[in-house]
Each structure stands twice: as C-alpha cells, then as structure tokens.
C-alpha cells in the first residue's frame, strides 16, 4: 500500500485553495467536486479539477472526489476524468458492490478507487462493498453523514461510532485495502484533533481525511512511525537477518521475545519510509 497518512480535501472550485495546495506535505490531495461545491458551480469545478490535474504539482498523489452516481453530475464527472492524470477517484455514499463495479468500469485501468462509507446501508453491506471482486483499493469513513443518518448524539470520543470504526478497518484489512479515518471539523481544536488522530491510529486506520492544511503535520506525525518505532523495527530486521536466527520462528531482541510476525510488521513499517 502507498502511504496515505494525510488526505486533504480541497474545493476544486476555489482556485486560490488549489494553488496553495501545490507543494503541501500531504500524502494525498483530493480535489472535491461534491460537498464543497455548490450545485451551480459543479460544471465549472469539474473543468477546473481537470486543468489543475494536468498542471500537476500536488505532491505524491492526486485524487478527485466525484459526485454520486445518483446525482445529475456523477456520470459526467467520471466521463470527464477518465483521461485526466488523476491517481485515484473517491466515490461518495457507496452502498453496494454493484455500485463499486459501475464506478470501476468507468475508470481508467490504472486509477485507484476509494469508496466512502457514510450511510447506514453501507454499514449493512460493508462486506460486499469491501470485497467487490478487487475493484476497490481503499475505504474512507464519512463520519459527518454517517452520524447524521444514524442519528447519534454528540460525543467527543466518537463513542456511538466505535463499532463502525473497527468494522471499516477489519473489512479493509481483510481485503488488502487502505483505510482512511473521517474528518475532524473543529479546525482550531488542536488537542481534539490530536486525540482523534491517536484514536484512529489505535483502531488501525492508515491515515485521516483533512479539511485544512494546518492539520497535515499532525496527521503525518500521528499516522507515521515514531523514531522509536523505526529504531525498533530496524533492530528486529537485523536480528532476524543474523546467521544465528536462520530457521528460527522466535528470537530474543533486547530481552523481548519476537516472532516472525513481528518481523513482517517491521518490514512493512520500514517499506514506507
């Protein structure tokens, strides 16, 4: 999997925001055609996204969030973006494997597809969506729409959503998908953002959806390995590479028993540095 610690949404209709995004340190920049764009601006935003994609300069990866296929703009978004230099397409309110297949069939063969899980129906059919014959490469949690449709109460630690945080990660991992946590709306609440990033990392998410550039550094730190984790991973890899570890399933590293599953974890961690 490619690193996706910080996934920043940018309104495709806001030329100033798009220009400022070039050169930012986010792992993925998403030009948004959906929630951040008013209905009367949809066509203009679509054209602007294509121009911006062709101009480039967005760092490691560039994606576009299209409008839903059940809207007046979704099909046109897909058609227009098929030949654009975009790494991935983010599809909102995906609710079935059938929808995944319809989206995948309309994409360029080398473009990734991430499905947003943000409705109760998506939760009910999460297994089918995540499997979908390998058509997906990622799941993104849409916490705002999900909380609204579930009619959950407000909770600083996302207590009502915890089962679904775990479910999205489990189905993502079972199918080799990237899993991206939802947005944090209170831009100036740095402590709250840090706490939610830590929670997302604890639950197993690869990264977090962001709504402001000020959140990039915190997300990269929270979802990236610490210096201690990197040092430990290198020690584990080196220990298993030693001649005396040949053929052993369990060895001792600095007084701690370490299995080959920990070697695999260490290798995965180091592979994305």
How would you write 198-251 as a 3-class SS string? HHHHHHCCCEEEECCHHHHHHHHHHHCCCHHHHHHHHHHHHHHHCHHHCCCCEE
Q: Dump strand ranges (E) for the chain.
A: 6-11, 28-32, 61-65, 88-91, 112-117, 138-141, 178-181, 207-210, 250-253, 256-259
Judged against a pLDDT cut of 70, whether residue 1 lies above it is answered with: no
Domain assignments of the chain as residue spans, ordered by start = 6-223, 227-271
Distance CA 220, CA 200 (A): 12
- Residue 23: pLDDT band by 50, 70, 90 thresholds? confident
Average pLDDT of the segment spanning 217-237: 92
- Residue 273: pLDDT band by 50, 70, 90 thresholds? confident
Q: Give the SS3 label for residue 6.
A: strand
Burial per residue of 155-167, b for 16 or more beta-carbon CB atoms within 10 angstroms, e otherwise: eeebeebeebbeb
Look up tokens 């592979």; give the residue. 271
Average pLDDT of the segment spanning 35-59: 93
According to DSSP, the β-strands at 178-181 and 207-210 are: parallel
pLDDT value of residue 182: 97
pLDDT value of residue 169: 98
Question: What would you report as the CA-atom Rg of the chain, rounded to the nearest whole angstrom?
Answer: 20
The structural architecture, per CATH, of the domain 6-223 is Alpha-Beta Barrel (3.20)
Cα–chain-centroid distance for residue 155? 23
pLDDT value of residue 77: 97
Dump pLDDT digits (tens) for 59-74.
889 999 999 999 999 9
Q: Are 65 and 114 in contact (CB under 8 A)?
A: no
pLDDT value of residue 8: 96
- Residue 228: pLDDT band by 50, 70, 90 thresholds? confident
Dump pLDDT digits (tens) for 95-151.
999 999 999 999 998 999 999 999 999 999 999 999 999 899 999 999 999 999 999
> Token digits for 80?
């227009």
| Structure letter (DSSP) for residue 176 | T
Judged against a pLDDT cut of 70, whether residue 240 lies above it is answered with: yes
Dump pLDDT digits (tens) for 176-201.
999 999 999 999 999 999 999 999 99
Judged against a pLDDT cut of 80, whether residue 233 lies above it is answered with: yes
Average pLDDT of the segment spanning 161-168: 97
pLDDT value of residue 59: 82
Dump pLDDT digits (tens) for 10-20.
999 999 999 98
Q: What is the mean pLDDT of the chain?
A: 94
């Amino acid at each position: 999997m490619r690193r996706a610690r910080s996934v920043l949404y940018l309104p495709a209709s806001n030329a100033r925001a798009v220009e400022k995004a070039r050169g930012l340190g986010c792992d993925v920049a998403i030009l948004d055609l959906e929630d951040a764009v008013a209905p009367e601006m949809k066509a203009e935003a679509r054209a602007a996204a294509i121009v911006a994609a062709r101009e480039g300069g967005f760092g490691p990866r560039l994606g576009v969030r299209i409008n839903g296929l059940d809207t007046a703009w979704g099909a046109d978004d897909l058609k227009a973006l098929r030949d654009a230099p975009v790494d991935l397409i983010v599809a909102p309110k995906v609710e079935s494997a059938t929808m995944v297949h319809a989206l995948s069939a309309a994409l360029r063969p080398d473009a990734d597809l991430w499905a947003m899980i943000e409705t109760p129906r998506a939760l009910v059919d999460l297994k089918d969506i995540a499997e979908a014959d390998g058509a997906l490469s990622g799941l993104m949690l849409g916490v705002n729409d999900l909380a609204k449709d579930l009619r959950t109460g407000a909770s600083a630690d996302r207590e009502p959503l915890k089962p679904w945080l775990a479910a999205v990660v489990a189905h993502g991992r079972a199918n080799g998908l990237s899993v991206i946590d939802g947005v944090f709306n209170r831009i100036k609440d740095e402590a709250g953002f840090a706490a939610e990033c830590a929670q997302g990392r604890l639950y197993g998410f690869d990264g977090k959806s962001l709504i402001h550039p000020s959140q990039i550094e915190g997300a990269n730190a929270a979802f990236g390995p610490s210096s201690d984790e990197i040092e430990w991973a290198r020690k584990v890899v080196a220990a298993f590479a030693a001649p005396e570890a040949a053929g052993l399933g369990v060895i001792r590293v600095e007084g701690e028993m370490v299995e080959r599953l920990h070697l695999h974890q260490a290798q995965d961690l180091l592979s994305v540095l």
